[in-house]
Structure 1
Amino acid sequence: MRTHEDQWLEDIYRNTLPRVAGVIHRMGGHLEMAKDIFQDAVIIYLEKQQQNKLPAGVPAEAYITGIARILAIRKLKQSGPHIPLDNMDGDIAVPADYYAPPPVSKPVLEYVKAAGKRCLQLLHAFYYDHLSIQEIAADFNFKTQHSASVQKYKCLEKVREQIKQSDYAETVS
């Protein structure tokens, strides 16, 4: 005469083991590993059941499959291929063009020249000659420092806009 527990266990094996084996197979495991992990998962489930620590409303099949998935991840992590770093030198290489700068259609100086002679002089004075805004305002005959700062900003915006349009034109063509 079979007991209720025997029938339950047989049903669990019949219905859940194939699902667990499929999960473990997709993770790179094999059938023997799946059987071992499945049995461990069933034991963990039964222990949790005895301790009344099972979450309410979760079917046994889903819980056992979840436990098996976690156990498989741990086992595959531990037994995964361990290759010494000395053997990896030939396998890992940085592509030759990794550090190459992106192709530039025109040097930035060409964009600055296209913004106008006055912008070229103003930006040169600020960025290359390291003149302060006060000095630039005096040298370029601006009424205020704010006017010089605004003009520098407008020059930079002209250059940015030309670069954007140039990049857009190259992308489209």
Structure 2
Amino acid sequence: MLASSPFTNQQLLYRSLLAGEDAAFEYLYRLLYQRISGYIFASGGTRDDTKHVVHESIITFLFNLHYEKYQWREEAELATYVVSIARHKWSEMGRQATRIVSLDLTTLPPDAEPMSENDTDEPDFEQRRLLVDQNMKLLGDKCRTCIDLFYFQKKSMQEIAAHLGWANEDVAKKEKYRCLRKLRLLIGLRPWND
């Protein structure tokens, strides 16, 4: 269906989207879903995640289109731009999910006793919290402070950079990522794919 659409002509698609034609939006939705679903599924996402990312991406694209932040160019495919928005949205969703530290109990040290199904969630949480606390002590001062400022004190990257004497918020983001990666390795969790 997508291949036989008149919207395979990028300039026509752009003009139709500007004019608010429903058929153009439907085409863009299907095209984006088709192009991004494999990427999301391959990185552990679900069909619902894909729908959410596609919706968010189209809303962002429409905003950019409406406020002229996106201008069609002869040499660029419009769908490539929207796919890049979708990849960014998916990556953003992953970063938000990592703000809640989740630990897999199968990665506990060998001397830890397995929990039965009758145990309540509270001791489970307490064990995981202790595991994180123990391994946080193994991190350097700046890493501990960075993680504490971001996750517990809810400071912005700009504030963290200023507090720790880093050049800017980009450096703070990279350092926070490096610190979290190190903590995950210490705890026994797989590091993120780069």
- Please classify the TM superposition score into its range, dividing by the shorter chain length: 0.3 to 0.5
**Larger radius of gyration between Structure 1 and Structure 2:** 1
When normalised by structure 2's length, the TM-score is 0.40
When normalised by structure 1's length, the TM-score is 0.44
